[in-house]
């Protein structure tokens, strides 16, 4: 099999074998454009690899755990992570390895290569895949080159690529990938030219940076920008950049470095050179008969074309597809580090202060009119923080994913989630809360009189130490009354808290005796030992970022919950005044405002009822074994406690299996009592999974209709290794 083609060997009927990017390069080469020394690895090479390694069905098994449309993005990320890991663990072997080794060594003679994706289905869709598949620059050594070819192949199955293919209607199961192998040209200046400015068809636009193109393409180095008149071929404007950095080749790949002062002071292109690049764009446009986006680099004043692709323009009325959004799910280290500073130094302290200020305000002294205004004000405050949560906190969760990929690339562990062991056992607010509950439960356990008083629902009595500790707990975390009810009808006292404390007192948590994750310290040492010099620092920083991201994934909800609780306390006061007035049969006009604010904000109507479909007479459906995502390793069996409403939480008994739609951190105080966790919402990084791992509990997430199919009292087995839940039918 001819798995490799040179640009001049390519014929029109090879287009589907090498993909559009490679095909365009072959045409450029034929037309005399200066392109780097290049070989194309055809899709047959990819197919040979996946078939020989038995990967095709493994990939499809992963993708078919459940319907793709039913998967949340986080589940798709998990799925993509597992597929990527399969590619990482399988070497290119046999005839393909011998063939590629011989071709690479004889053709490139040890030169560093750029390895780029070229997927044929990009052609079929007519859509832009720019940025969705991976490319690597400056890869040296045959073994490393083969390794990076696999990484390019696996980018076919990244979460962003999967979502995008799904959106534009491509058959994911038929996807394949060709690869462009190019000599790395270490240009001193690089850039991109749009033969037609996407925002103005009368213009040409050029962006240029010093060094290699990666910083510009990845959006981390600001380029100088020239706009030219398409017809007159004159420079209309030049917008200089803050030239501070450039991308240069490093030992393995590329790195960002400070730009030398003499370069920082002058633009990377002269006006004449900009006009020359404009000419290049015109020639490419003439060749491909469509406006082009051309990547180029200049080395020692010689221009080299790296790739040319059509500019994807939108027809009138056509809205932007979601490619940009899918790409935005992946954040760079720089972006996440900046986000971390904002979150840790500004947003979290502000949230804590906001909750404290609201708590200290005595709303009982407000007039009815003032209270209505206060409810509105608190609603706005809460809404502001909910928005902040989505815009700042959710993207920050990507820090864990970024680290996961970095760790897996470096360590190639058997378990693609081994990296989580470095993140667990961190100090989280929910764990601190649960620890405090354990201490309170311990006091109840040791004091029989206190135990009996709580059980009988009597006042606390003279036990000052316990009362004081309860007050400290309530001050810090609330009395769980709102958490237990989901904030709809906060209980009027500390009953929910005491009920749980009694259960914990009778059934001490076996958390401490449960199996701990691998020794995180030893694992950390092994991980960091893989790196030297600046790479070591990068690994340390990324680990630190991931730990912060992991911790905040949970903590932010606790803080958000505190603000929401204060909003709800104002709503509760408003409702109580309205009800009181209605009972007395009195009417005050100020109350109309209170009624209206309660109605407008729609409190009291937020309960979600599950629709249970009835079975036809004589037939009955029962689940036996449900497949989800493995989210916490381990195996456990117990009675299910299905949480359909938050109130169900207060009945939670020790050693039960928590079954819920989605755990939020304000619910996780029952986890120390649980023997396992089953959640409808899927993903390794959702709160239920995070807290389950902290306690070493088996956890399966992403079971569609979990709270509908499983009933409280069912005997269930949670297989956290395989992501399978088995339901015993004995009691049905």
Partner 1 sequence: MTHYKAIKKQIRELLINQKLGVLSTHHSGQPYASLIAFVGKEDLREIYFVTPRTTRKFENLSVDSRVAILINSSLNMDSDFHEAVSVTALGNAGEMNGAEKDEILGLYLTKHPYLEVFATSPTCAVVGVTIKTYVMVRNFQHVMELHIDQ
Using the minimum distance from each CB to partner 1, give the nearer residue, 64 or 143. Answer: 64
CB of 723 to partner 1, least distance (A): 9
Q: Give the nearer residue to partner 1 in terms of CB position, either 272 or 616.
A: 616
**Residue 82 C-beta: closest distance to partner 1, Å:** 14
Judged by beta carbon, residue 578 or residue 724, the one nearer partner 1 is: 724
Task: Please tell me what DSSP assigns to residue 200.
Answer: B
CB-wise, 539 or 725, nearer to partner 1?
Answer: 725
Alpha carbon distance 716, 268 (integer Å): 66
Q: How far is the CB of 280 from partner 1 (least distance, A)?
A: 47
Calculate the alpha carbon distances from 338 to 146, 335, 428 in Å: 35, 5, 21
The C-alpha atoms of residue 375 and residue 594 are separated, in whole angstroms, by 9
Candidates 32, 59, 633, 89; CA nearest to 412 is 89
Q: Which is nearer to partner 1, 65 or 82 (CB)?
A: 65
Measured from the CB of residue 698, what is the shortest distance to partner 1 in angstroms? 16
Minimum Å gap between C-beta 613 and partner 1 is 4
Q: Please, which residue, 390 or 619, has the CB nearer to partner 1?
A: 619
Q: How many Å apart are CA 389 and CA 315, to the nearest integer?
A: 35
Indicate the residue among 332 and 625 with the shorter CB distance to partner 1.
625
Query: Least separation, in Å, of the C-beta of 712 and partner 1?
Result: 19
Choice between 487 and 702, CB closer to partner 1: 702
Count of all residues that appear for the chain in the document: 732
Nearer to partner 1, 57 or 345 (CB): 57
Nearest distance, CB of residue 700 and partner 1, angstroms: 12
Give one DSSP letter per residue of 472-516, joined into a string. HHHHHH--SHHHHHTTSS--SSSHHHHHHHHHHHHS---GGGSPP
When the beta carbons of 404 and 702 are compared against partner 1, the nearer one is 702
CB of 326 to partner 1, least distance (A): 24
Q: Which is nearer to partner 1, 165 or 433 (CB)?
A: 165
Nearest-angstrom CA–CA distance, 475 and 373: 25
Calpha distance 87→59 (Å, rounded): 10
Q: Which of 244, 189, 194 is nearest to 222 (CA)?
A: 244
Alpha-carbon span 612 to 403, nearest angstrom: 41
In whole angstroms, the minimum distance from the beta carbon of 708 to partner 1 comes to 8
CB 45, CB 58: distance < 8 Å: no
CB under 8 Å to 261, separation ≥6 — which residues? none
Q: How far is the C-alpha of 275 from the C-alpha of 282, rounded, in Å? A: 11
- Exposure string of 477-500, with b = 16+ CB inside 10 Å and e = fewer, is bbbbbbbbbbbbbbbeebbbbbbb
User: Token pair of 493, please?
Assistant: 């006292």
The three-state DSSP-derived secondary structure of 564-597 is HHHHHHHHHHHHHHHHHHHHHCCCCHHHHHHHHH
d(CA 724, CA 703): 9
Using the minimum distance from each CB to partner 1, give the nearer residue, 478 or 676.
676
Shortest Å, Cβ 585 to partner 1: 47
Q: Mutual orientation of helices 464-477 and 429-446 as an angle, nearest 10°?
A: 160
Nearest-approach distance from CB 121 to partner 1, in angstroms: 19
The DSSP letter of residue 681 is S
Task: Name the helix (H) or strand (E) containing 207.
Answer: strand 203-210
Where on the chain is the footprint of partner 1 (CB under 8 A)? 56-57, 60-61, 63-66, 613, 615-616, 618-627, 705, 709, 722, 724, 729
Identify which of residues 66 and 553 has a Cβ nearer to partner 1 in the complex.
Answer: 66
112-131: b or e for each residue (b if 16 or more CB lie within 10 Å)?
bbbbbbbbbbbbeeebbbeb
Half-sphere exposure (Cβ direction) of 658: Cα atoms closer than 13 Å = 33
User: Residue 545 and residue 34: Cα distance in Å, rounded?
Assistant: 43
Shortest distance in whole angstroms from residue 174 CB to partner 1:
12
Q: Which is nearer to partner 1, 131 or 704 (CB)?
A: 704
Distance CA 37, CA 50 (A): 27
Q: How far is the CB of 630 from partner 1 (least distance, A)?
A: 12
- To which H or E segment does residue 320 belong? none
CB of 67 to partner 1, least distance (A): 9
| Closer CB to partner 1, 67 or 448, in the complex | 67
Q: How far is the CB of 220 from partner 1 (least distance, A)?
A: 39
**Who contacts 415 (Cβ-Cβ below 8 Å, separation ≥6)?**
none
Eight-class DSSP state of 338: H
Beta strands 657-660 and 676-679, pairing class: parallel
Output the smallest distance, CB 641 to partner 1, in A. Answer: 22
CA angle 455–458–461, rounded 5-degree value: 115
8 versus 621: smaller Cβ distance to partner 1: 621
In 397-447, where does DSSP find H-type helix? Answer: 398-411, 429-446
């Amino acid at each position: 099999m001819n798995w490799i083609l040179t640009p001049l060997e390519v014929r029109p009927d090879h287009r589907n074998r090498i993909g559009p990017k490679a095909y365009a390069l072959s045409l450029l080469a034929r037309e005399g454009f200066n392109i780097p020394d290049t070989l194309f690895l055809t899709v047959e090479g990819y197919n040979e690899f996946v078939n020989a390694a038995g990967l095709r069905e493994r990939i499809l098994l992963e993708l078919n755990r459940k319907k793709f449309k039913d998967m949340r993005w986080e589940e798709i990320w998990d799925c993509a992570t597992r597929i990527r890991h399969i590619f990482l663990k399988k070497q290119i072997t046999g005839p393909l390895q011998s063939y590629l080794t011989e071709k690479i060594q004889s053709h490139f003679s040890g030169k560093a290569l750029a390895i780029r994706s070229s997927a044929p289905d990009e052609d079929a869709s007519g859509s832009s895949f720019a940025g969705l598949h991976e490319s690597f620059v400056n890869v040296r050594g045959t073994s490393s080159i083969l390794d990076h070819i696999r990484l390019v192949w696996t980018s076919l199955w990244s979460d962003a690529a999967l979502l995008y293919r799904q959106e534009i209607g491509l058959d994911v199961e038929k996807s394949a990938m060709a690869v462009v192998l190019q000599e790395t040209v270490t240009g001193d200046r690089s850039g991109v030219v749009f033969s037609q400015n996407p925002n103005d068809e009368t213009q040409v636009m050029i962006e240029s940076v010093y060094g290699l193109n990666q910083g510009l393409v990845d959006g981390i180095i600001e380029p100088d920008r020239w706009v030219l008149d398409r017809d007159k071929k004159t420079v209309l404007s030049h917008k200089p950049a803050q030239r501070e950095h450039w991308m240069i080749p490093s030992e393995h790949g590329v790195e960002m470095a400070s730009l030398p002062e003499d370069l920082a002071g002058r633009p990377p292109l002269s006006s004449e050179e900009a006009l020359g690049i404009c000419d290049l764009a015109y020639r490419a446009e003439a060749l491909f008969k469509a406006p082009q986006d051309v990547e180029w680099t200049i080395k020692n004043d010689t221009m080299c074309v790296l790739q040319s692709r059509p500019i994807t323009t939108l027809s009138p009325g056509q809205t932007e597809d979601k490619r940009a959004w899918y790409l935005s799910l992946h954040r760079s280290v720089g972006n996440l580090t900046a986000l971390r500073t904002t979150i840790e130094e500004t947003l979290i302290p502000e949230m804590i202060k906001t909750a404290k200020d609201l708590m200290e305000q005595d709303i009982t002294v407000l007039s009815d009119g003032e209270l209505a205004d206060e409810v509105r004000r608190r609603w706005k405050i809460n809404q502001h923080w909910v928005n902040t949560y989505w815009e700042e906190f959710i993207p920050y969760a990507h820090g864990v994913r970024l680290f996961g990929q970095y760790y897996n690339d470096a360590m190639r562990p058997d378990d693609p989630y081994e990296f989580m062991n470095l993140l667990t056992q961190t100090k989280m607010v929910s764990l601190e809360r649960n620890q405090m509950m354990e201490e309170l439960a311990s006091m109840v356990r040791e004091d029989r009189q206190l135990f009996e008083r709580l059980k009988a629902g009597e006042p606390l009595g003279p036990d000052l130490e316990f009362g004081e500790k309860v007050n400290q707990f309530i001050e810090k975390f609330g009395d769980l009354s709102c958490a237990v009810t989901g904030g709809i009808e906060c209980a009027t006292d500390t009953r929910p808290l005491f009920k749980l404390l009694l259960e914990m007192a009778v059934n001490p948590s076996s958390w401490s005796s449960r199996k701990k994750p691998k020794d995180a310290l030893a694992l950390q040492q092994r991980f960091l030992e893989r790196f030297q010099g600046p790479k070591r620092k990068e690994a340390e920083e990324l680990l630190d970022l991931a730990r912060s991201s992991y911790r905040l994934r949970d903590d932010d909800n606790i803080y958000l919950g505190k603000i929401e609780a204060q909003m709800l306390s104002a709503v509760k006061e408003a409702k109580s005044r309205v009800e009181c007035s209605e009972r007395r049969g009195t009417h005050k006009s100020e109350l109309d405002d209170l009624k209206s604010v309660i109605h407008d904000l729609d409190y009291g109507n937020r309960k979600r009822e599950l629709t249970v479909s009835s079975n036809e007479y004589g037939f009955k459906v029962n689940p036996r074994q449900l497949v989800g995502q493995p989210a916490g390793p381990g195996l456990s069996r117990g009675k299910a406690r299905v949480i359909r409403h938050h109130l169900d939480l207060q009945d939670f008994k020790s050693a039960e299996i928590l079954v819920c739609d989605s755990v939020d951190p304000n619910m996780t105080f029952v986890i120390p009592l649980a023997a396992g966790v089953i959640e409808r919402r899927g993903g390794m990084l959702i709160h239920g999974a995070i807290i389950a791992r902290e306690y070493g509990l088996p956890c399966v997430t992403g079971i569609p209709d979990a709270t509908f199919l499983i009933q409280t009292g069912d005997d269930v087995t949670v297989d956290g290794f395989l992501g399978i839940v088995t339901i015993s039918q004995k009691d049905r």
